[in-house]
A and B are shown apart, each in its own frame.
Chain A
Amino acid sequence: MKAAIVVFPGSNCDRDVQVALRQSMRGAPGHDEPIMVWHKDADFEKVDLIVLPGGFSYGDYLRCGAMAAHSPAMTEVVRRAKAGVPVLGICNGFQMLTETGLLPGALLRNAGLKFVCRDVHIRVETSQSPFTGRYQTGQRLRVPIAHHDGNYVADEEELERLEARGQIAFRYCEPDGAVTEAANPNGAARNVAGVFNEAKTVLGLMPHPERLADSALGGADGRPLFDGLVEALS
Protein backbone atom coordinates (compact mmCIF):
# COMPACT_ATOMS: atom_id res chain seq x y z
CA MET A 1 0.00 0.00 0.00
CA LYS A 2 1.13 3.51 -0.81
CA ALA A 3 -0.14 6.73 0.73
CA ALA A 4 0.49 10.39 -0.02
CA ILE A 5 0.02 13.35 2.31
CA VAL A 6 -0.39 16.70 0.58
CA VAL A 7 1.50 19.48 2.35
CA PHE A 8 0.33 23.09 1.95
CA PRO A 9 1.94 26.25 3.29
CA GLY A 10 0.35 26.39 6.73
CA SER A 11 -0.35 22.66 7.13
CA ASN A 12 0.57 21.59 10.67
CA CYS A 13 -0.76 18.05 11.06
CA ASP A 14 1.00 16.53 8.06
CA ARG A 15 3.70 14.82 10.10
CA ASP A 16 1.24 13.60 12.74
CA VAL A 17 -0.72 11.87 9.98
CA GLN A 18 2.49 10.43 8.57
CA VAL A 19 3.40 8.97 11.99
CA ALA A 20 -0.09 7.50 12.45
CA LEU A 21 -0.12 5.99 8.96
CA ARG A 22 3.42 4.64 9.29
CA GLN A 23 2.43 2.93 12.54
CA SER A 24 -0.57 1.26 10.89
CA MET A 25 1.32 0.36 7.72
CA ARG A 26 4.17 -1.31 9.59
CA GLY A 27 3.97 -5.01 8.84
CA ALA A 28 1.34 -4.61 6.13
CA PRO A 29 2.25 -6.49 2.96
CA GLY A 30 4.05 -4.37 0.36
CA HIS A 31 3.78 -1.22 2.45
CA ASP A 32 5.82 1.87 1.74
CA GLU A 33 6.73 4.95 3.70
CA PRO A 34 3.87 7.51 3.35
CA ILE A 35 5.15 10.19 0.96
CA MET A 36 4.81 13.93 1.39
CA VAL A 37 3.59 15.84 -1.68
CA TRP A 38 4.17 19.59 -1.87
CA HIS A 39 1.10 21.58 -2.94
CA LYS A 40 2.78 22.69 -6.17
CA ASP A 41 3.38 19.12 -7.30
CA ALA A 42 0.58 17.95 -9.59
CA ASP A 43 2.58 15.01 -10.85
CA PHE A 44 3.08 12.74 -7.85
CA GLU A 45 3.32 8.95 -8.00
CA LYS A 46 0.34 6.64 -8.06
CA VAL A 47 -0.91 5.95 -4.52
CA ASP A 48 -3.74 4.00 -2.87
CA LEU A 49 -4.69 6.75 -0.43
CA ILE A 50 -4.40 10.55 -0.37
CA VAL A 51 -4.56 12.47 2.90
CA LEU A 52 -5.29 16.20 3.20
CA PRO A 53 -3.96 17.15 6.63
CA GLY A 54 -5.10 19.69 9.20
CA GLY A 55 -3.67 23.14 9.63
CA PHE A 56 -4.22 26.60 8.25
CA SER A 57 -3.38 26.30 4.56
CA TYR A 58 -2.60 29.68 2.99
CA GLY A 59 -3.41 31.35 6.32
CA ASP A 60 -7.13 30.58 5.89
CA TYR A 61 -7.27 33.53 3.45
CA LEU A 62 -10.69 34.22 1.86
CA ARG A 63 -12.28 31.09 3.36
CA CYS A 64 -10.70 28.09 5.09
CA GLY A 65 -9.49 25.71 2.37
CA ALA A 66 -10.51 28.01 -0.51
CA MET A 67 -6.99 28.68 -1.76
CA ALA A 68 -5.84 25.10 -1.24
CA ALA A 69 -8.80 23.85 -3.26
CA HIS A 70 -7.26 25.39 -6.39
CA SER A 71 -3.61 24.48 -5.87
CA PRO A 72 -1.90 22.28 -8.51
CA ALA A 73 -1.76 19.21 -6.24
CA MET A 74 -5.46 19.57 -5.41
CA THR A 75 -6.47 19.66 -9.05
CA GLU A 76 -4.82 16.27 -9.34
CA VAL A 77 -6.39 15.06 -6.07
CA VAL A 78 -9.85 15.96 -7.39
CA ARG A 79 -9.15 14.12 -10.65
CA ARG A 80 -7.99 10.99 -8.81
CA ALA A 81 -10.83 11.14 -6.26
CA LYS A 82 -13.29 11.21 -9.14
CA ALA A 83 -11.54 8.11 -10.51
CA GLY A 84 -12.12 6.36 -7.16
CA VAL A 85 -8.86 6.87 -5.25
CA PRO A 86 -9.71 7.14 -1.52
CA VAL A 87 -9.16 10.58 0.01
CA LEU A 88 -9.16 11.41 3.72
CA GLY A 89 -9.47 15.07 4.76
CA ILE A 90 -8.92 15.98 8.39
CA CYS A 91 -9.97 19.38 9.78
CA ASN A 92 -8.55 21.84 7.22
CA GLY A 93 -8.54 18.89 4.81
CA PHE A 94 -12.30 18.53 5.35
CA GLN A 95 -12.72 22.23 4.58
CA MET A 96 -10.75 21.74 1.35
CA LEU A 97 -12.95 18.82 0.34
CA THR A 98 -16.12 20.90 0.70
CA GLU A 99 -14.47 23.79 -1.17
CA THR A 100 -13.65 21.52 -4.11
CA GLY A 101 -17.17 20.10 -4.10
CA LEU A 102 -15.92 16.54 -3.49
CA LEU A 103 -18.03 16.62 -0.34
CA PRO A 104 -21.38 18.38 0.06
CA GLY A 105 -22.01 21.28 2.44
CA ALA A 106 -19.64 23.85 3.92
CA LEU A 107 -17.88 24.64 7.20
CA LEU A 108 -18.71 27.95 8.82
CA ARG A 109 -17.32 29.82 11.81
CA ASN A 110 -18.08 27.98 15.09
CA ALA A 111 -21.45 29.02 16.51
CA GLY A 112 -19.73 30.09 19.75
CA LEU A 113 -17.23 32.17 17.70
CA LYS A 114 -14.31 30.71 19.66
CA PHE A 115 -11.51 28.47 18.55
CA VAL A 116 -12.25 25.16 20.30
CA CYS A 117 -9.33 22.92 21.25
CA ARG A 118 -10.25 19.94 23.42
CA ASP A 119 -11.18 16.27 23.35
CA VAL A 120 -14.75 15.48 22.30
CA HIS A 121 -16.74 12.30 21.91
CA ILE A 122 -17.99 11.22 18.52
CA ARG A 123 -20.22 8.34 17.50
CA VAL A 124 -19.39 6.11 14.55
CA GLU A 125 -22.51 6.21 12.38
CA THR A 126 -21.51 3.35 10.11
CA SER A 127 -18.78 0.75 9.95
CA GLN A 128 -19.57 0.18 6.26
CA SER A 129 -16.69 2.12 4.70
CA PRO A 130 -12.97 1.63 4.13
CA PHE A 131 -12.38 4.33 6.77
CA THR A 132 -14.54 2.94 9.57
CA GLY A 133 -14.33 -0.83 9.02
CA ARG A 134 -12.38 -1.39 12.24
CA TYR A 135 -15.06 0.34 14.33
CA GLN A 136 -18.52 -0.87 15.31
CA THR A 137 -21.55 1.14 14.20
CA GLY A 138 -22.59 3.15 17.24
CA GLN A 139 -19.15 2.96 18.86
CA ARG A 140 -18.07 6.06 20.80
CA LEU A 141 -14.61 7.51 20.36
CA ARG A 142 -12.70 10.17 22.23
CA VAL A 143 -10.71 12.36 19.83
CA PRO A 144 -9.41 15.92 19.90
CA ILE A 145 -10.78 18.83 17.91
CA ALA A 146 -8.91 22.08 17.27
CA HIS A 147 -10.70 24.46 14.95
CA HIS A 148 -12.40 27.81 14.50
CA ASP A 149 -14.53 26.87 11.51
CA GLY A 150 -16.13 23.48 12.04
CA ASN A 151 -19.78 24.44 11.96
CA TYR A 152 -21.06 22.08 9.27
CA VAL A 153 -23.95 23.40 7.17
CA ALA A 154 -25.94 22.01 4.27
CA ASP A 155 -29.51 22.72 3.26
CA GLU A 156 -32.26 20.51 4.65
CA GLU A 157 -32.65 18.61 1.40
CA GLU A 158 -28.94 17.80 1.33
CA LEU A 159 -28.97 16.73 4.99
CA GLU A 160 -31.88 14.39 4.33
CA ARG A 161 -30.02 12.92 1.37
CA LEU A 162 -26.90 12.40 3.51
CA GLU A 163 -28.95 10.61 6.18
CA ALA A 164 -30.78 8.44 3.64
CA ARG A 165 -27.58 7.37 1.91
CA GLY A 166 -25.65 6.76 5.11
CA GLN A 167 -23.12 9.45 4.26
CA ILE A 168 -22.83 10.79 7.80
CA ALA A 169 -19.69 9.18 9.19
CA PHE A 170 -19.46 10.65 12.70
CA ARG A 171 -21.59 12.77 15.02
CA TYR A 172 -20.59 14.68 18.15
CA CYS A 173 -22.11 12.95 21.17
CA GLU A 174 -22.08 12.62 24.94
CA PRO A 175 -19.69 10.03 26.44
CA ASP A 176 -22.64 7.59 26.48
CA GLY A 177 -23.37 8.14 22.79
CA ALA A 178 -26.39 10.44 23.12
CA VAL A 179 -26.44 13.06 20.36
CA THR A 180 -27.31 16.27 22.20
CA GLU A 181 -26.95 19.99 21.64
CA ALA A 182 -24.67 20.20 24.69
CA ALA A 183 -22.28 17.72 23.04
CA ASN A 184 -22.06 19.82 19.88
CA PRO A 185 -18.88 21.90 20.13
CA ASN A 186 -19.39 24.13 17.09
CA GLY A 187 -23.06 24.28 16.12
CA ALA A 188 -22.75 21.75 13.28
CA ALA A 189 -26.06 20.77 11.66
CA ARG A 190 -27.35 17.52 13.18
CA ASN A 191 -24.08 17.25 15.18
CA VAL A 192 -22.23 16.19 12.02
CA ALA A 193 -18.51 15.71 12.67
CA GLY A 194 -17.67 13.90 9.43
CA VAL A 195 -19.23 13.02 6.08
CA PHE A 196 -18.55 10.66 3.18
CA ASN A 197 -19.11 11.19 -0.51
CA GLU A 198 -21.81 9.00 -2.01
CA ALA A 199 -19.38 6.20 -2.93
CA LYS A 200 -17.77 6.37 0.55
CA THR A 201 -14.34 6.74 -1.01
CA VAL A 202 -13.90 10.26 0.35
CA LEU A 203 -14.15 11.12 4.05
CA GLY A 204 -13.88 14.55 5.64
CA LEU A 205 -13.96 15.03 9.41
CA MET A 206 -13.18 17.87 11.80
CA PRO A 207 -11.76 15.76 14.70
CA HIS A 208 -8.13 14.63 14.61
CA PRO A 209 -7.86 10.82 14.80
CA GLU A 210 -4.12 11.09 14.11
CA ARG A 211 -3.60 12.94 17.39
CA LEU A 212 -4.89 10.03 19.48
CA ALA A 213 -3.53 7.05 17.61
CA ASP A 214 -0.99 5.89 20.19
CA SER A 215 -1.76 5.13 23.83
CA ALA A 216 1.53 6.78 24.81
CA LEU A 217 -0.14 10.06 23.76
CA GLY A 218 -3.15 9.58 26.02
CA GLY A 219 -5.49 7.59 23.83
CA ALA A 220 -5.67 5.38 20.78
CA ASP A 221 -9.28 5.72 19.62
CA GLY A 222 -8.05 7.20 16.34
CA ARG A 223 -5.81 4.27 15.49
CA PRO A 224 -8.47 1.86 14.11
CA LEU A 225 -9.28 4.41 11.40
CA PHE A 226 -5.74 4.10 10.02
CA ASP A 227 -5.49 0.34 10.72
CA GLY A 228 -8.79 -0.16 8.90
CA LEU A 229 -7.68 1.90 5.93
CA VAL A 230 -4.44 -0.06 5.62
CA GLU A 231 -6.37 -3.32 5.86
CA ALA A 232 -8.93 -2.23 3.26
CA LEU A 233 -6.37 -0.81 0.82
CA SER A 234 -3.50 -3.29 1.09
Chain B
Amino acid sequence: MKARVHVTLKPGILDPQGKAIQHALGALGFGAVDKVRQGKVIDLEIAETDPEAARASLREMCEKLLANTVIENYAIEIDAGP
Protein backbone atom coordinates (compact mmCIF):
# COMPACT_ATOMS: atom_id res chain seq x y z
CA MET B 1 0.00 0.00 0.00
CA LYS B 2 1.06 3.57 -0.57
CA ALA B 3 1.67 6.05 2.18
CA ARG B 4 2.74 9.64 2.45
CA VAL B 5 4.54 11.17 5.42
CA HIS B 6 4.55 14.94 5.94
CA VAL B 7 7.36 16.29 8.07
CA THR B 8 7.03 19.88 9.24
CA LEU B 9 8.94 22.09 11.66
CA LYS B 10 7.22 22.46 15.02
CA PRO B 11 5.53 25.78 15.67
CA GLY B 12 8.01 28.12 17.30
CA ILE B 13 11.04 26.64 15.53
CA LEU B 14 12.46 29.32 13.24
CA ASP B 15 12.40 28.40 9.56
CA PRO B 16 14.96 30.56 7.75
CA GLN B 17 14.27 28.76 4.45
CA GLY B 18 10.55 29.47 4.72
CA LYS B 19 11.37 33.10 5.40
CA ALA B 20 13.61 33.30 2.34
CA ILE B 21 10.85 31.80 0.20
CA GLN B 22 8.38 34.33 1.57
CA HIS B 23 10.74 37.19 0.67
CA ALA B 24 11.25 35.80 -2.81
CA LEU B 25 7.49 35.51 -3.30
CA GLY B 26 7.13 39.12 -2.15
CA ALA B 27 9.73 40.19 -4.71
CA LEU B 28 7.70 38.38 -7.40
CA GLY B 29 4.66 40.46 -6.52
CA PHE B 30 2.91 38.01 -4.18
CA GLY B 31 2.82 40.52 -1.38
CA ALA B 32 -0.20 38.88 0.28
CA VAL B 33 1.90 35.98 1.56
CA ASP B 34 2.22 36.47 5.31
CA LYS B 35 4.04 33.32 6.26
CA VAL B 36 5.80 30.37 4.63
CA ARG B 37 6.92 27.20 6.40
CA GLN B 38 8.87 24.61 4.45
CA GLY B 39 8.61 20.90 5.14
CA LYS B 40 9.20 17.53 3.53
CA VAL B 41 6.94 14.98 1.86
CA ILE B 42 8.11 11.37 1.84
CA ASP B 43 6.23 8.82 -0.31
CA LEU B 44 6.53 5.17 0.60
CA GLU B 45 5.25 1.88 -0.77
CA ILE B 46 4.83 -0.74 1.91
CA ALA B 47 4.24 -4.46 1.56
CA GLU B 48 1.36 -4.46 4.03
CA THR B 49 -2.38 -4.88 3.57
CA ASP B 50 -3.65 -3.91 7.01
CA PRO B 51 -3.88 -0.10 7.21
CA GLU B 52 -3.59 -0.11 11.00
CA ALA B 53 -0.47 -2.25 10.95
CA ALA B 54 0.97 0.04 8.27
CA ARG B 55 0.18 3.10 10.36
CA ALA B 56 1.86 1.62 13.45
CA SER B 57 4.92 0.76 11.43
CA LEU B 58 5.04 4.23 9.84
CA ARG B 59 4.76 5.85 13.22
CA GLU B 60 7.82 3.91 14.34
CA MET B 61 9.69 4.91 11.16
CA CYS B 62 8.90 8.57 11.87
CA GLU B 63 10.01 8.37 15.49
CA LYS B 64 13.23 6.55 14.61
CA LEU B 65 14.35 8.21 11.42
CA LEU B 66 11.98 10.15 9.16
CA ALA B 67 11.41 13.00 11.61
CA ASN B 68 13.56 14.51 14.34
CA THR B 69 10.88 14.94 16.97
CA VAL B 70 12.97 17.51 18.85
CA ILE B 71 12.22 19.99 16.08
CA GLU B 72 9.71 18.35 13.74
CA ASN B 73 6.13 17.07 13.69
CA TYR B 74 4.92 14.39 11.33
CA ALA B 75 1.61 13.37 9.82
CA ILE B 76 0.87 10.04 8.16
CA GLU B 77 -1.50 9.56 5.22
CA ILE B 78 -2.38 6.09 4.04
CA ASP B 79 -3.83 5.37 0.62
CA ALA B 80 -5.79 2.16 1.15
CA GLY B 81 -7.25 2.38 -2.38
CA PRO B 82 -7.00 -0.47 -4.91
Contacts and interface: CB of A to CB of B under 8 A. Distances in A.
Interface of A: 62-63, 66, 70, 98-99, 104-106, 108-113, 151, 153-155, 187
B70 A109 contact: no
B16 A111 contact: yes
Given A98-B70, A153-B71, A154-B70, A109 B16 contact: yes
28 contacts: A62-B65, A62-B66, A66-B65, A70-B64, A98-B70, A104-B70, A105-B70, A106-B70, A106-B71, A108-B13, A108-B14, A108-B16, A108-B71, A109-B16, A109-B17, A110-B16, A111-B14, A111-B16, A113-B16, A113-B20, A151-B16, A153-B14, A153-B70, A153-B71, A154-B70, A155-B12, A187-B14, A187-B16
Contacts of A151: 14, 16
A112 B20 CA distance: 9
A106 B68 contact: yes
Contacts of B14: 108, 111, 151, 153, 187
A108 B17 CA distance: 10
**Prevailing SS type, chain A contact patch:** loop
Interface string B43-82: 0000000000000000000001110101100000000000
Contacts of A153: 13-14, 70-71
Contacts, number: 37
Interface in B1-36: 12-14, 16-17, 20
A154 to B, nearest CB: 7
A95 to B, nearest CB: 10
A111 B17 CA distance: 8
A114 to B, nearest CB: 10
Contacts of A111: 14, 16
